[in-house]
Amino acid sequence: MRPKLTLLGLLSTLAVARILYAQEPAADLRLEPTELPLGLFYSGTDVHVSGRMPDAEGAVLVIRGVEGTVELKIKGKVGGLFWLNVGELKFERIPACYYALASGPLRALGAPEALAEAGVGYDALAAVSLGAADSDKERLFAELVKLKEKEGLFGIKENALTLEPAEGGGARFSIAVPMPSSIQEGSYCFRLVAFHGGKGKLLAERVLRVQEAGAAAWIRSLSRNHGFLYGIMAVGTALAAGLLTGFLFHLGSKGGH
């Protein structure tokens, strides 16, 4: 009798697991490509992101670059006449790039505290970088964000991630994420965060590796390991460019006469 009960219990467990699996599709996140070479003539490209996720009230695709320190110069009037640098301010743990691509308005997904806790939005960056409340530092942080946005390295876009019903339940998505020409070498983390009941949950993450290649990598290696030779080449290149410009200008002047 016991073996029959054991077998019956096992079959029941498998049936329940099968039902749960059908109701809760596993999250999937794919990048194409997964490696991005930065050549000498790299001018930006798209990374195609697609995947599948369980049903949720909304989702956000968050892209973060490697973290570093950013220094800003503080200007002030000296002697009531001249605007000069009077100090500097450091912001720690600022990502090289930050994008948040949401399926809807962020305020509809969760409260500001819940968004920040899930790493979604600029408040999440400020919470890590600023620490204690400081109005001057908060103002300069806002200016830093604007500067990064102008460079194409920061951005928050609502209604950018389209979720469509997937076969078997859940939702699927596909989006092209532009990687600007100003992107730096390093690892970039793509995170899929789902929201339900005002709370965010990390479902999946993948890493895009960006690395200099070809002539760009050779020049960078030369500047790091052979500074003197790199300096000579830089001066020689500048002189050659100046001579060529002068020669062309001279030819243009003669042609005008």
Cα 115 from chain centroid?
A: 17
Q: Which of 98, 192, 103 is nearest to 147 (CA)?
A: 98
Instruction: Return the pLDDT at 231.
Output: 64
pLDDT confidence of residue 25:
57
**pLDDT score of 22:** 43
**Long-range CB contacts (< 8 A, 24+ apart) of 200-205?**
200/60, 200/109, 200/110, 200/114, 200/115, 200/117, 200/118, 200/119, 200/120, 201/118, 202/118, 203/27, 203/29, 203/53, 203/54, 203/59, 204/27, 204/28, 204/29, 204/51, 204/53, 205/29
Q: What is the pLDDT of residue 213?
A: 82
User: What pLDDT score was predicted for residue 79?
Assistant: 65
Find how far residue 89's CA is from the centre of its chain. 23
Rg of the chain, C-alpha, whole Å: 26
Q: What is the pLDDT of residue 21?
A: 41
Tell me the CA distances in angstroms from 130 to 12, 162, 190, 248, one per residue in order: 53, 33, 24, 53
pLDDT on residue 137: 85
Residue 254, pLDDT score: 59
What pLDDT score was predicted for residue 199? 96
Q: Where are the domains of the chain?
A: 22-211, 218-251
Homologous superfamily of 22-211 in CATH? Macroglobulin (MG2) domain (2.60.40.1930)
The predicted pLDDT at position 218 comes to 47
Bridging pattern class, strands 186-196 and 58-64: antiparallel
Question: What does the block give as tokens for 63?
Answer: 């892209």
One pLDDT digit (tens) per residue for the chain, 257 residues: 444 445 545 445 444 444 444 445 578 999 999 999 998 889 999 999 999 999 999 999 999 999 999 988 777 767 666 677 667 788 999 999 999 999 999 999 999 999 999 999 999 999 998 876 677 788 889 999 999 999 999 999 999 999 999 998 999 999 999 999 999 999 999 999 999 999 999 999 999 999 988 554 445 544 455 455 546 655 666 666 667 676 666 665 555 55
Instruction: Give the count of alpha carbons within 13 A of 133, CB side only.
Output: 0
Residue 5 to residue 133: CA distance in whole angstroms? 63
pTM: 0.74
